Amino acid sequence: MKFFIDTASVKEIREAASMGILDGVTTNPSLLSKEEGDPTAILKEICTLVDGPVSAEVIALHKDGMVKEAVELSKLHPNIVIKIPLTKPGVQAVRELEEKGIRTNVTLVFSSNQAMLAAKAGASYVSPFIGRLDDSGHVGMDVVREIVAIYGNYGFETEVIVASVRSPLHVIDAALAGAPIVTIPFKVIELMFKHSLTDAGIKRFLEDWEKIKKRS
């Protein structure tokens, strides 16, 4: 299973990369808007920090505009993957970009039907948004389970990136569903490390070690 980080913060990406657990990065316009500086420069810097796919999203809503933006973004670094929203023009753009050898990540996916359309168009990745589905009263992970099963049934090569992750439980559920990739916000990565029994265990080991030292 691959762990991507869902952020445009260079600081967070640098720290997560230093943990030795990072396989890629996903950004979006909202995440880039939280960071100071030019988005293009930020994306370029991110590509120097992680040796893996870095998703950068197009803004255009029409197919030709999406393709034009995607071609420019893909020149930034070979690891750039183009995030395209699941719309009719988006799916058309995916087909055209994949045929040009530019990898795509179809985003804002909320149903298995949408994920099938992305796969049929040849998308490299598809991103179901789990947290936002949960927020709207649906079980987001059910959609992940469906997509993983459907892709498996037909041998679609599109990889599922579980996105809009809000908690460590989402990561466990994504893994149990057999999703190949989960993109995780920095604060959730930090929570994944934590367990009170680990802290208590270290404390006790150190206290017992002190007892040994006092004997000599």
**26 binds ligand G3P per the rule CB under 6 A:** yes
- Using CB under 6 A as the criterion, what x/- string covers residues 27-56 for binding ligand G3P? -x--x-------------------------
Left (φ > 0), alpha (ψ -120 to 50) or beta: where does 17 sit?
alpha
CA nearest to 125, candidates 105, 144, 145: 105
When binding is defined by CB under 6 A, the residue of 129, 148, 179, 188 that contacts ligand G3P is 129
Range list of H helices, the chain:
10-18, 29-33, 39-49, 63-74, 88-99, 112-120, 130-135, 140-154, 168-176, 186-193, 196-215
Nearer Cβ to ligand G3P, position 3 or 129?
A: 129
Cβ burial, residue 58 (10 Å; 0-12/13-18/19+) = buried
Q: Is 83 a catalytic residue?
A: yes
Q: Which of 11, 34, 83, 203 is catalytic?
A: 83
Q: For residue 69, state whether it binds ligand G3P (rule: CB under 6 A).
A: no
Number of residues that bind ligand G3P (CB under 6 A): 11
Which range touches ligand G3P (CB under 6 A), out of 33-41, 97-105, 127-135, 169-177? 127-135
Strand-strand pairing, 159-162 and 24-26: unpaired
Tell me the per-residue interface mask from 147 to 166 with ligand G3P, x by CB under 6 A, - otherwise: ----------------xx--
Q: Looking at 131, 168, 178, 180, which residue binds ligand G3P (CB under 6 A)? A: 131
Of 8, 50, 49, 45, the C-alpha closest to 26 is 8
Locate 197 and state its tokens: 């029994």
Between residues 84 and 163, which has the closer beta carbon with respect to ligand G3P?
A: 163
Interface with ligand G3P, residue 189, by CB under 6 A: no
Q: What burial class does residue 82 get, using C-beta atoms within 10 Å of its C-beta: 0-12 exposed, 13-18 middle, 19+ buried?
A: buried
Q: What is the closest distance, in whole angstroms, from the C-beta atom of residue 162 to ligand G3P in the complex?
A: 9
Q: Is 183 in the site for ligand G3P (CB under 6 A)?
A: yes
Is 201 in a helix, a strand, or coil?
Answer: helix
**Catalytically active residues, by annotation:** 83
Binding site for ligand G3P (CB under 6 A): 6, 26, 28, 31, 127, 129, 131-132, 163-164, 183
